Amino acid sequence: MDEAIFKTTWGLRADLIIDFLGPAWGLNGGRTLRKILLGFYGVRNVKEMREVAKDRYRKHYAEVRAAVPKDRLLEFKLEDGWAPLCEFLGKDVPGSVEFPVANQRKEHLERVRTKQNRFFKLALFTGLRKVMPWAFGLGVVAGGVYFAKPNWKPSRFGLDELNRVFETILKDAQLQLK
């Protein structure tokens, strides 16, 4: 559960996407998912969620068992395969179709990482598309200034000029105080 839920929803990569990149594109699904999980677990943050996760999981199953009549409830484990599920539904067990075991931890993590990587690439590409014209324009202006002013020396506007400005301000202040 730690890897499958916590690290993919509150890890460093997830924080970057959910808290910064997603909202920049108007995507709030990650924040919504976090709110749903925090609400389900009845907590305020991921630290509290880790502390109560197992108990809340057990409580949820107890609530389902209490709410659903026994003849309408299937206690099912994926490793049991088709037989208990088909019996419960009153269907024949498919002989030639292997039972699909989906959402295994490894596949889930790979799927999440792939989507995160795709989002990072999209964010980088989109960000570069927005920044490049400005960077190019700034480069053109800087180049124009550099070539138009061959005698320009950056030190003219350096610390010496700043010191003179401060000295002038101090002298004016002293005159005002007299």
Q: What is the mean pLDDT of residues 86-107?
A: 85
- 79 found inside a domain: no
Percent of the chain predicted with pLDDT > 70: 88
Which residues in 107-133 are b (16+ Cβ under 10 Å) and which e? eeeeebeeebeebeeebeeeeeeeeee
For residue range 125-178, list pLDDT tens digits in order: 888 888 899 889 998 888 887 777 766 555 555 667 767 777 888 888 778 776
- 32 found inside a domain: yes
- What is the pLDDT at residue 55? 94
**What DSSP assignment string belongs to 74-98?**
----GGG-HHHHHHHHT-PPPSSSP
Number of folded domains in the chain? 1
- What is the pLDDT at residue 62? 96
Between 71 and 8, the higher pLDDT residue = 71
- 42 found inside a domain: yes
* Amino acid, res. 69: P
Q: How confident is the model at residue 90 (pLDDT cuts 50, 70, 90)?
A: very high
Say whether pLDDT at 117 is over 80.
Answer: yes
- Pick from 10-19, 86-95, 101-110, 151-160 the range whose average pLDDT is largest: 86-95
- 178 found inside a domain: no
- 160 found inside a domain: no
- 34 found inside a domain: yes
- 54 found inside a domain: yes
Between 24 and 34, the higher pLDDT residue = 34
- What is the pLDDT at residue 5? 76
Which residue segment(s) compose the domain that 49 sits in? Answer: 1-70
Q: What is the mean pLDDT of the chain?
A: 85
CA distance 91 to 117: 42
Query: Which of 20-29, 70-79, 116-125, 139-148 is least confident?
Result: 139-148
- 25 found inside a domain: yes
